[in-house]
Amino acid sequence: MAELRIRRDSCIRVPEEIYDALGMFPGTKIRVTLEGKRIVIEKVAMAADPFAEAAKGPDTGALDRIQEQQKEAAQKARDRFKKMMENPPEILPEDNPDLWR
């Protein structure tokens, strides 16, 4: 529980403990409702937004995920090449008119 003062521009500052406990960050959407004589503020779930994710702070696992994706892509390319070499397509000179230039 915290007592806050409303500023001239009608803003309030959410205390850091509440901000952290709710996992809020700059750009977090909130919903403000009136229940009787009470103001209720709640965090709104957002769709995955890469900019919002970046605002949360550094992602220490990002490099590992990127490297894993690159390894998978390289393995798929090797598998595709191997498959193509097992049964190579027939290429005729007339298929590429610029071949003999």
Reported as a single tens digit per residue, the pLDDT across 41-62 is 888 876 666 676 677 777 778 8
Q: 34: number of CA atoms within 13 Å, CB side?
A: 2
Domain boundaries, the chain: 16-86
Assess contact for 43 and 28: CB atoms under 8 A: yes
Instruction: Taking residues 15-23, report their average pLDDT.
Output: 85
For residue 43, what are the β-bridge partners? 30
Structure confidence by residue, pLDDT tens digits, 60-74: 788 899 999 999 999
Is residue 23 pLDDT above 90, yes or no? no
* Dihedral angle computed from the Cα positions of residues 45, 51, 53 and 58, in that order, rounded to the nearest 10 degrees: -160
Pick the closest to residue 77 from 88, 65, 66, 69 (CA basis). Answer: 69
Both tokens of 89, joined, read 């397509």
